[in-house]
Structure 1
């Protein structure tokens, strides 16, 4: 009897597995690659993890730009990957209200709280309107230009001078991470931590950002039940995440407490706007008081954290890849320098740091930066979740709760979008015959997102990149260490 029961149980289990196997086959109509029993497509992904960006680019090209990824059975790690610009426009603009960040995103990106990057509907709109108001303050624009100018002149160039005198090698990504973090701290909180100095001090808060970014990526490729268990047990990468979040929160809440104290003193002294701080945190607090909508510490924490996430990695990545591309394309470097000389004369005593209005005149430089962002977008993946069933322009069906992953890195390497020379670094593709900037629809060039969620800091980012680029190229010639292989960092999914 026991033997018959065991046989019956095995038969039922086998039938269940077979039925589930065919069910997955029916649900996954456009597989990206081999769907193994039980493990799904995860083995092939993990095997190619070290070349994740190029691996998916090659696969998407083979599949016509869109395909499905299914994870291990019963893990719900199912994504629809696409690099089709028409799909991007449909989801991000045409059917914007049907596609949201969703609860899965907020679970993975819990560190973002209720900030603009993680919210939907009215909460997102409120955050966006508020940030748009802050960025449009003329006094903040002036303050920001002075902040960038001062950091380049007093920190960035002296550090590079020191490196040059020592004849040593410098990690540009680390250099720009420090530069961007100092700038963000001062423009957001009014405090410069001086991470960028000749001794390159170890900064705990910087390490916390990196640990959080790595954990965010791992949560995308590890089954939810696994990372949730690690989080509960406080082991592995999730333990690092907990420690990172603790350090980040302590840092931000300390800044908020300090600002509240300073703002109270300013109000007591009736200090005028002209003499008060204009950093974003102070402006946000002051604006809340004036409107009778004083924001609590949690709201301020989430807003500040989202500022750091949006500004730090984007500018760091853009600057690092820009200088790598320029250093490996000497003709482009020569043309940028020639444009600077032709625009501002050949006076070698020209100011080391150009102003905002001056860098806006450099068309070829703008094209080179766009080209860099095309090939190496700061955020290579953008995700959305469907609320209702839909059909994409590519013909692929979408069910409720389907997670769509736009692979921006792959889009920048698409012959259909950019032509047969899409792998070449050609700033000229951005310049018209009349010498102006060529307009490219944002759903094709998605470095700063597209549709209603287009990045509000796009203009600020371009200005910062241009000011740094001209200051460095005016004074130095950069060279890539012989034999060094540069490749995208997996942590840039943060």
Structure 2
């Protein structure tokens, strides 16, 4: 009898709370707060949070289970984003939550705040702006595209293979960024698609980082302490990555590679003295931050771009027309002839890439935490040390910014009537973040994106396998859950 009474009481409470919340976007339950609704929709996290933001005028406060300290402010309001990233920049840092979740990044540029962040940014900026580095970057990417990417796609054409283009791009960009940062080519992209332990470890570690966001902190910390489940895998993957990076650092010091232009070599022998001024941990932290940024963001952007282009043949035709016009009268359609200067003339291609980044930003949300209590432009009062997530995915879908056709893929929205590029403020087009923490590698990213896009589109026609599901993955990087399965055909001139 007691059991029936308990069940009846629980049903009464459940119905009572359902009735109280039936007209609200998300139910707040006793003890569990809003967590059940989030967990129920975690497989559709980005669109779910986007719908909540839209229903709440661009900002809502998520209240987690009791005693879990999981209260989070979600926002896609561009004025809030401008306030957080620029106007009140000094009050908004990464915060304790972020530094705990992303401990693997060490004291690198993406995890650090204050003086450490400023030092990292100044140092990397001084390297990125060097003309010799830009030339090295261009040649490295060009070589990898010619010797690996196009060779692999030629092989796929001859064999009539279905290809997971996302996997191809992850391998390509991992090889590229390893060459640029470490001066070492792991050769992930080759005909036989080998399994490379360090590349696999990067992918698996990303998954754990996402789940640290949606699980109570005490839960994943307990898993970490006990070394079980997801956290055990994470520790194993980080061990693989660290062993590899420290091995490369040791090799760099021993071989004294002064003439190499990779970032690790530059930091070791130009900034440091080859031995003591730059320690191994600083090199490791810098390397892992740049490897994560240069591999995952570029591969994600390329994957969504090619899916959008493949499903919008008119856009594909316009890109090809623009590229061929800039190749002048050359009949061989050699993508290399454009060079660095030619890339900047491809206005429509630039617009198509911006559209892909708007709709599917590689980093779908960003963390912040305020040092002092504050009032956002939206009117929300924020206590100190509150976790704030601004959704880059949702900002690209705000009708007030992009219009009623905001869900459509329209490169034309980036091209002015005079044929130039329309520039949108970074707090509205936020794929490269905004304010002082805007991505240093923005220009570098566009170079690689354009080179890969031109090389593939000029030589091949990409067709998405019919019925292949396109769903965002649950990760801190916006990959496709099931990859991008395509058939590839050689393009006739």
Contact 1:364/1:431 (<8 A) preserved: yes
Specify every segment of 5 or more residues in structure 2 that has no aligned partner in the other structure, as ranges.
1-12, 479-493
Partner Cα separation in structure 1 for residue 333 and residue 272 of structure 2:
44
In the superposition, relative to structure 1, how do residues 236 and 42 fare at CA in structure 2: closer, same or farther (>3 Å)? same
The answer to whether the 8 A contact 1:112-1:118 is kept is yes
Kept in 2, the 8 Å contact 1:32–1:68? The answer is no
Which of these residues, 281, 288, 308, is aligned with residue 271 of structure 2?
288
Structure 1 counterpart of 2:456: 472
Aligned with 2:112 (options 115, 119, 125): 119
The alpha carbon displacement at 1:492 in A equals 3.1
- 8 Å Cα contact 1:210-1:491 kept in structure 2: no
Of 61, 67, 71 in structure 1, the residue corresponding to residue 64 of structure 2 is: 71
CA distance in structure 2 between the aligned counterparts of 1:59 and 1:341, rounded to whole angstroms: 44
Contact 1:32–1:67 under 8 Å retained in 2? no
1:371 matched to 2:355: yes
Asked whether the equivalents of residues 181 and 195 of structure 1 are also in contact (C-alpha less than 8 Å), the reply is: yes
Q: Contact (CA 8 Å) 1:32, 1:69: kept in 2 or not?
A: no
Deviations 1:156-195 (A, max 9, x none): 0000001111111111110000000000111111111110
Are the aligned partners of 1:417 and 1:444 in contact in 2 as well (CA < 8 Å)?
A: yes
SS in 1 for 2:476: helix
Q: What does the per-residue CA deviation read over 1:401-434, in whole Å, with 9 as the maximum and x for residues that have no partner?
A: 1111001101111111100010110000000011
What SS does the corresponding residue of 2:31 show, helix, strand or coil?
A: coil
- Per-residue displacement from partner, 1:446-491 (whole Å, max 9, x unpaired)? 0000000000000000000000000000011101110112122221
Task: Specify the alignment match of 2:441 in structure 1.
Answer: 457
Q: Does 1:444 align with 2:428?
A: yes
User: 1:13 matched to which residue of 2?
Assistant: none
Cross-structure match for 1:324: 307
Per the TM alignment, residue 292 of structure 1 is displaced from its structure 2 partner at its CA by 9.8
Q: 2:136 aligns with which of 143, 146, 149?
A: 143
Q: Runs of 4 or more off by more than 6 Å in structure 1? A: none
Please state if 1:179 is matched with 2:162: no
TM-score (norm 2): 0.90
Could you tell me how far 1:345 is from its partner in structure 2? 2.7
- Tell me the distance in 2 between the aligned counterparts of 1:201 and 1:326: 28
- Indicate yes or no: 2:293 matched with 1:300: no
SS across alignment from 1:383: strand
Instruction: Find the aligned partners of 2:129 and 2:369 in 1 and give their Cα distance.
Output: 31
Provide the C-alpha distance between the structure 1 equivalents of 2:201 and 2:77, rounded to a whole number of angstroms.
Answer: 35
Which residue matches 2:414?
430
Hey, what's the Cα distance between the residues in 1 that align with 2:432 and 2:331? 35
Deviations 1:283-341 (A, max 9, x none): 01112335997111011100000001111111000000000000000000000001112
Question: What is the aligned partner in structure 2 of residue 224 from structure 1?
Answer: 217
Alignment of 1:368-447 (within 5 A): 368-447=352-431
Number of residue pairs matched by the alignment: 461
Structure 1: distance between partners of 2:88 and 2:374: 9
Q: Alpha-carbon deviations, 1:218-272, whole Å to 9, x = none?
A: 0111111111111111111001100011001011101101111122x75xxxxxx
Matches of 1:75 and 1:437, distance apart in 2: 47
- 1:359, distance to aligned residue in structure 2 (A): 1.3
| Structure 1 alignment gaps of length 5 or more | 1-17, 26-30, 267-275
In the alignment, which residue of structure 2 is the partner of 1:251?
244
**SS of equivalent residue, structure 1 residue 479:** strand
Alpha-carbon deviation of 1:203?
1.3
Alignment RMSD: 2.1
Among 199, 208, 211, the alignment partner of 2:201 is 208
Matches within 5 A, 1:234-249: 234-249=227-242
Offset of residue 47 of structure 1: 1.0
Q: CA deviation at 1:50?
A: 1.4
Q: Does 1:361 align with 2:354?
A: no
